[in-house]
Structure 1
Amino acid sequence: MLVPGLTRRSFLRAAGVGAAAFSAAACTGFATSGNGGMIFLSTQFRPADEAERFRSLLAETAPGVGYVTIEESPFSSQVRSQVDAGSTQIGLLGGLHGDVAPLADGYLQDLTGLLADLGDRRWPAEYLQLAKAGTDHTWYIPWATASYVLAAHADALAHLPSGADATSLSYDQFLDWAIAARRANGNRPVLGLPSGPKGLLHRFTQGFLLPSFTGGQITTFRSNEAVTAWQYFRELWANCVSSSTNYDFMQEPLESGEVRMAWDHVVRLVHAPERDPQNWRMLPAPRGAHGLGYMAVIAGLAVPKGSPDPELAQRAISALTRPETQIQLLRSNGFFPSVDTTIPDDLPPAIELEADAVRRQQEAKGAILSLPPVGLGQREGEVSKVFKDSFRSIVLEGANIRSTLDQQARVLQSLLDDLKVPCWAPDPAADVCEVG
């Protein structure tokens, strides 16, 4: 149920614009839609400008569907409580793999038939495998994807190591590049990383650094190779702009010139090259001994059991996964198509630059796909805290790497023991996730 006493009709009436919408959002925890119609509950595009751009796209492609956003933590509980009560008011679901896949334990409709009907859209095989959530059935349809890439201004690109290919860097070359750029800038670093309070630096450790150095994330957390990865991180950090601890979105210091090279989520880099795109490059992440580890942010569309209008929900899924709609979403909100389609050459320059970098990461020889934590619900933040605390202790405070990893491994294992969830990519999906 939404909240006691709030019926579907009153919820939709409250989802109008102005004060009524604000009131409904305050009561339910939802940021509400002004569109009315069937409720499309999603963890994506929560900022007001992103939500409104997506609502405009939705009104064109799937009329009769009202877009409602919610944070990740209450997303699952809303769906489970409504289905358990036999009174599902939500018609369609949208979220990351880690939001949607855990609901396959009895709270989603089987979409295997719908996938067969849409099969000519040619999703990557690994995306379709993820959508099965470890079963023989398809529980969500891949919707959109995003990732994290490197951004570099021409000022920094001039200091690439001799013979290095910017589109195929090793981590050693990346470090050498940061050192050379610092020295050429009067010994002032030009590399920035998003380690502010709302920054996503922990995703760098989880999805890029550790998989590249160790081949895993959780099962290799305290391995000897992980120690080497953290030693490397210390060296890299010594060549970062000191104010990186204040950066949440790297596009701002990149645009101002305070930083000339950075790593971040594609949505948080897109504005940096707007004024002079000819002087910017977007690049794949570096590779390590095990390959090029990269984190894919994969969003899916699902239908909850008892959906009030499953036919409309499936029509909306069909509309939102058409190649032309996927390109519209790329233009409006910066999320890349999940289907096999040609990226047009008339995109905003920054998005075109990012599209090339994302493609190179996905297609790189030895690419290692990583996912954000799966199945942790409101406790996902506790896993992220393990990586954040490891960074603070090892990199910022200079603590012993081995003892820190051993200590944080105990915290991580205790959490996983409580939740009893399998590991997520790139670690093997064993029934019990053991920290190694």
Structure 2
Amino acid sequence: MKAKLTLSRRALFGTSAAVAATGTLAACGASTSGGGDFAMISTQFTPVEEKQRFEEILSEHVSTTSVSYTTMTAPEMLTQVTSQVGSGNLQFGLIGGLHGDLQPLAENLEDIDEALVETARAAGIAEDLLELGKLGGETTKYIPWMQASYVMAVNKKALEWLPEGADVNALTYEQVLEWATAANEANGSPVFGFPAGPKGLYHRFFQGFQLPSFTGGVITTFQSPEAIESWQWMKDFWAQCNPSSTNYDFMQEPLASGEVLVAWDHVARLVGAPQDNPDDWVMVPSPTGPQGLGYMLVIGGLAIPKGGDVETAAQVIEEFLKPEMQIATLEKNAFFPVVEAEIPSELPPAIQLEFDAVNAQQGADGAIVALPPVGLGEQDGELSQVFKDCFAEICLDGGDPGTVIPGKAEQVQTLLDTAEASCWDPDPAGDGVCQVG
């Protein structure tokens, strides 16, 4: 018995701009696999365990050639691709990255309409996703590879403190705050955690969940009254979180140890928590705010460097799109298929929990697809740091959101101006550089 993947196209693609993300799992430096006939560089699966599992997938599912897999950060990949394409001395034949990683490389990528688009259509990749692969141009620059998101993991022990009448699968931000407060008071110590460690993805919560849910935007509503309200919520919520959260990079670790019972994070950073005792856990959608359920969708793509071996690279990409390889990536590294694929009914229990939560989140009424920065290039990390600084000044230092947030607006605009970056969803597309509102 098999169940079909039913990720909602309405929820995924109901907005106008491209889906993007920075390297959500990027480490500090490049990491190279063993030798292979065909070299691939990627910003994905950089943690050692994830990289090893993906190398196993490559060896089992790619028969065209032996693929060596080298991981690096997005800035490192930008440097490598531009320098090697410019010199005509390519040391790799395939590029794997998230939409935001590939956007700055568009001029250094082969046009692959003729080589791969019909193959991608035949595999069942949605036209909306294929359109993203054009990176705003007229020709296809990458083929969608995989997708993921962020959800909440809940140890069932915490359910007793839910607010009366609250549905854990359809929580509001107000209810989450009430829940965290009640749990803290009843337990005598905080049971909620937040990935605010040095390598945590907490800035994605502000960019993709909190601000879109409260304001309907991110940049164009950056200093709006609704944005100030959202940061006041965050300040109040943080006061109910385990203070050790500033050390948490991957929430699966404190969840598995029982140090916290409820946490939000990227699915790949939650999946380890329920592996040993899945019946003790639920995974649920992120909360809904006054404007809707803002959530971030992560889309990975596969591209061929200009001047590369298009024929061999296209054959490898075709194998990446086979349902068997897509399902293996889901089962081992918690990234979901982009092709039409029959999802086994007996997924690993932890993966099944995440699959159900992601489906519910994407199919929720009023879902708002919120996208990480597009077109920032080297300024991407600086923009993320602004959001981290907002958190530090408001939540850690006790600052007034009404003072802190407007004070950051000029800094954000300077970064956008430097990168000449247009708006990305959920902010409305427009001509020229995106303007802070």
TM-score (structure 2 length as normaliser) = 0.89
Give distance in 1, aligned partners of 2:278 and 2:322.
29
| Deviation sequence 1:296-334 (CA, Å, 0-9, x none) | 121100111100x21111111111111221000111222
Partner in structure 1 of residue 7 of structure 2: none
Q: How far apart are residue 424 of structure 1 and its match?
A: 2.1
Residue 262 of structure 1 and its aligned partner are, at CA, apart by 0.6
One-letter amino acid matched to 1:403:
T
Q: Using the alignment, how far apart are the partners of 1:154 and 1:115 within structure 2?
A: 45
Counterpart for residue 249 of structure 1 = 250
Q: Is the 8 A contact 1:101 1:139 kept in 2?
A: no
Q: 1:155 aligns with which of 154, 157, 163?
A: 157
Structure 1 residues 235-262: Cα deviation after superposition (integer angstroms, max 9, x where no partner): 2112111221221111111111111111
Deviations, residues 18-67 of structure 1 (Å, cap 9, x unaligned): xxxxxxxxxxx642221321211111111222222212211222233221
- CA distance in 1 between counterparts of 2:260 and 2:347 reads 25
Among candidates 68, 78, 84, match of residue 82 of structure 1: 84
Alignment match, 1:273: 274
| Partner residue in 1 for 2:335 | 335
* Aligned equivalents of 1:284, 1:132: Cα separation in 2: 30
Q: Residue in 2 aligned with 1:204?
A: 205
Match of 2:56 in 1: 56
Q: Which amino acid aligns with 1:353?
A: L
Aligned counterparts of 2:355 and 2:330: Cα–Cα separation in 1: 9
Residues in 1 aligned to 2:52 and 2:389: alpha-carbon distance in whole angstroms: 36
Aligned pairs for 1:92-131 within 5 A: 92-104=94-106, 106-113=107-114, 114-131=116-133
3-state SS in 2 of match to 1:285: coil
Instruction: After superposition, give the CA deviation of every residue in 1:115-135 in whole Å (9 maximum; x if it has no partner).
Output: 222213223444333222122
Q: Is the 8 A contact 1:145 1:297 kept in 2?
A: yes
Name the CA distance, whole Å, in 2 between partners of 1:407 and 1:125: 41
Unaligned runs of 5+ in 2: 1-28
Question: Residue type of the partner of 1:142?
Answer: P
Mapped to 2, the partners of 1:250 and 1:343 lie a distance apart of 26
Amino acid at match of 1:88: L
State the shift of 1:410 in Å.
Answer: 0.9
Paired AA for residue 267 in structure 2: V
Q: Does 1:190 align with 2:214?
A: no
Could you list the runs of 5+ residues in structure 1 that have no partner in the other structure?
1-28
State, as a whole percentage, how many aligned pairs show the same letter.
Answer: 53
Q: Which residue of 2 aligns with 1:380?
A: 380
Deviation at 1:180, TM superposition (A): 2.2
Q: Which moved more, 1:176-185 or 1:197-206?
A: 176-185
How far, CA to CA, are the matches of 1:165 and 1:340 in structure 2?
Answer: 31
Distance, in Å, in 1 between the alignment partners of 2:398 and 2:103 is 38
C-alpha distance in 2 between matches for 1:342 and 1:169: 30
Seen in structure 2, the aligned counterparts of structure 1 residues 269 and 215 have a Cα distance that, compared at 3 Å, is same
Q: 1:334 to 1:386 in 2, by over 3 A?
A: same
Residue of structure 2 in register with 1:8 after alignment? none
Question: Which residue is 2:401 aligned to?
Answer: 401
> 2:177 matched to which residue of 1?
175
Q: Provide the C-alpha distance between the structure 2 equivalents of 1:135 and 1:366, rounded to a whole number of angstroms.
A: 30
> Residues 211 and 218 of structure 2 are in contact (CA less than 8 Å); yes or no, is this contact kept in structure 1?
yes
Task: Classify 1:220/1:276 alpha carbon distance in 2 versus 1 (closer, same or farther; 3 Å).
Answer: same
Counterpart of 1:166, as a letter, is V
- Name which of structure 1's ranges 265-274 and 423-432 shifts more when overlaid on structure 2: 423-432
| Number of residue pairs matched by the alignment | 405
Aligned partners of 2:409, 2:139: CA distance in 1, in Å? 34
Q: Counterpart in 1 of 2:47?
A: 47
How big is each residue's C-alpha offset from its partner over 1:346-368, in whole Å with a ceiling of 9 and x where there is no partner?
22211110111111111212211
Separation in structure 1 between the aligned mates of residue 332 and residue 253 of structure 2, nearest angstrom = 20
* Superposed displacement of residue 266, structure 1: 0.9
Output the CA distance in 2 between the equivalents of 1:78 and 1:100.
13
Could you say what secondary structure the match of 2:342 adopts?
coil
SS in 2 for 1:144: strand
User: 1:194-233 alignment to 2 at 5 Å?
Assistant: 194-233=195-234
Contact 2:44–2:96 (8 Å) recurs in 1: yes
Does residue 390 (structure 1) correspond to residue 390 (structure 2)? The answer is: yes
Partner of 1:422: 422
Residue 84 of structure 1: how far off its partner (Å): 1.7
User: Residue 125 and residue 231 in structure 1: after superposition, are their counterparts in 2 closer, same or farther (change >3 A)?
Assistant: farther
Shift of the 136–225 alpha-carbon distance from structure 1 to 2, 3 Å rule, reads: same
> Normalising by the residue count of structure 1, what TM-score does the alignment of the two structures yield?
0.89
Of residues 109-118 and 360-369 in structure 1, the stretch that sits farther from structure 2 once superposed is 109-118
Q: Does residue 1:300 correspond to 2:315, yes or no?
A: no
How much does 1:271 deviate?
Answer: 1.1
Alpha-carbon distance in 1 for matches of 2:56, 2:124? 26
> Is the 8 Å Cα contact of residues 208 and 292 (structure 1) preserved in structure 2?
yes
- State the shift of 1:177 in Å: 1.7
Partners of 2:166 and 2:336 in 1: CA distance: 28
**Which residue is equivalent to 2:70?**
68
Does the CA contact (< 8 Å) of 1:156 and 1:261 recur in 2? yes
Aligned to 2:326: 326
Q: Which has the higher contact order (CA 8 A, sep 6+)?
A: 2
Q: Tell me, what secondary structure is at the counterpart of 1:80?
A: helix
Is this contact kept in 2: 1:88–1:305, CA < 8 A?
no
1:74 and 1:339 map into 2 onto residues whose CA distance is: 29
Check whether the contact 1:101–1:131 (CA below 8 A) recurs between aligned residues.
no
What is the distance in 1 between the residues matched to 2:131 and 2:161? 41
